[in-house]
Amino acid sequence: MTSFPIDEVRAQFPALARADGGRPRVYFDAPGGTQACRAAIAAMARHLEQGSANSGGAFATSAETDALSAAAHEAAADLVGGEAGDIAFGPNMTTLTLSVSRALARTWQAGDEVVVTRLDHDANVAPWLLAARDSGATVKWLDIDVESGTLRLDTLAGLLSTKTRLVALGGASNALGTLNDVAGAVEIVRARSDALVYVDAVQSVPHVPTDVRALGCDFLACSPYKFFGPHQGLLWARAEAAATIEAYKVRPAAIDPPAHRFETGTQSFEGQAGLLGTIDYLEWLGRTIAPEAPNSRRAALVAAMAGCTRYEREIGDRLLAGFRAVPGLKLYGPPTMDGRVPTFGFTVAGHHPDAVAAHLARRDIFAWSGSFYAVEPVARLGLTDSGGLVRVGLCHYSTAAEVDALLDALGELAGR
């Protein structure tokens, strides 16, 4: 895809310039956390260097913090297609999800039902299992097709009833890369119950345009450190749903706008500054890719993510074609780039996943092995006792040359 400005993109990420012994590092660990863009790093440093303060004061640094935080909420809303008042920040997606689950569960009782999936990261499973345990609610499981690594949405309607209180599912699998039909799932839920829908979008937001209104969900959570920013959690909550929830918080903390009731304690304002820098970077990327796009930040962000999707599909196709030539390599999840993000879970016959990851690391190719907190899908695939999966994740700063380096290293290991 010659129109994608890969050289300009890579120049925006200082970590990509690092090399060990003259050999460049290959960052294929993106599903666990991407590298931070230069604009995010600079924005965080600038906030700390110029004087920081808590919010709500009459003096200059506090007023600057308030303005910064308001701008960060507006930028996050533009990214996901919502409103600034629907955004809450927290330490990470897991903490925010636990907070929402605690608040919701106080209204549940024995006989109520919760639906979770066999495909999700445990951050969108365990909080609901714990909430159900403490409230006496019943847990129902949406299974996966083990051959394709996709959710069995054809069985979702049968799991729903008038007693269903919540359905939790992911935007994309952090282990297999499966991109879920969230809008389709929400439509099924709305037809059969009054349940709330909670979406873990940590793995989808970095790769595809996100529009919470089009998805139709009630909550959507993601992590800026998975899309080129700092460690931070981001929650979008539909105002009508959030307003009915009594969150666990200290008494002076805000409840208006409704989503802010989930912002407990002093926020990481330097993290919010970093988020603003990240959005600035993505806006630049969108205007570079699609200069003809409407002149709004939201339009530029959609263009950026659409451009990333196209580019990642191209290099993902290259990787998948190479996988087929590696002896003993078994891919789990969708076999093509259709219906997936560029996260790939696989095994190599005769080699423990940890040994494969170590082999790659010796060649300065960074990849994960194990379950990556995707406890349910790894167990459902029967891989728990054998060490789980090897996981590589591409993103829009990855290159075809890096893909080829990975394939060469895997071919060497497999004796091709």
Instruction: Tell me the three-class secondary structure of the chain, residue by residue.
Output: CCCCCHHHHHCCCHHHHCEECCEECEECEHHHCCCCCHHHHHHHHHHHHCCCCCCCCCCHHHHHHHHHHHHHHHHHHHHHCCCHHHEEEECCHHHHHHHHHHHHHCCCCCCCEEEEECCCCHHHCHHHHHHHHHHCCEEEEECEECCCCEECHHHHHHHCCCCEEEEEEECECCCCCEECCHHHHHHHHHHHCCCEEEEECCCCCCCCCCCHHHHCCCEEEECHHHCCCCCCEEEEECHHHHCCCCCCCCCCCCCCCHHHHHCCCCCCHHHHHHHHHHHHHHHHHHHHHCCCCCCCHHHHHHHHHHHHHHHHHHHHHHHHHHHCCCCCEEEECCCCCCCECCEEEEEECCECHHHHHHHHHCCCEECEEECCCCHHHHHHCCCCCCCCEEEEECCCCCCHHHHHHHHHHHHHHHCC
Residue 1: what pLDDT?
Answer: 40
Do domains 6-32+309-411 and 42-277 share one topology? The answer is no
Q: How far is CA 381 from CA 119, 332, 377, 391, in A?
A: 10, 9, 6, 15
Distance in angstroms (rounded) separating the CA atoms of residues 278 and 245 = 31
User: For residues 81 and 299, what is the distance between their CA atoms, to the nearest angstrom?
Assistant: 10
Output the pLDDT for position 2. Answer: 45
The tokens for 141 are: 């499981």
Distance separating alpha carbons of residues 32 and 375, to the nearest angstrom: 15
Name the architecture of domain 42-277: 3-Layer(aba) Sandwich (3.40)
pLDDT in tens, 74-112: 999 999 999 999 999 999 999 999 999 999 999 999 999
* Average pLDDT across the chain, whole number: 96
pLDDT at 77: 98
Task: Return the pLDDT at 377.
Answer: 98
List of the chain residues with pLDDT < 50: 1-2
CA 414-28-22 angle, 5° bins? 85
pLDDT tens per residue, range 46-71:
999 999 999 999 999 999 999 999 99
- How much is the pLDDT for 416? 64
User: Burial of 266 by CB count in 10 Å (0-12 exposed, 13-18 middle, 19+ buried)?
Assistant: exposed
Q: At what angle do helices 60-80 and 269-289 cross, to 10 degrees?
A: 40
pLDDT at 297: 97
Q: What is the CATH number of domain 6-32+309-411?
A: 3.90.1150.10
**Domain definitions of the chain by residue range:** 6-32+309-411, 42-277
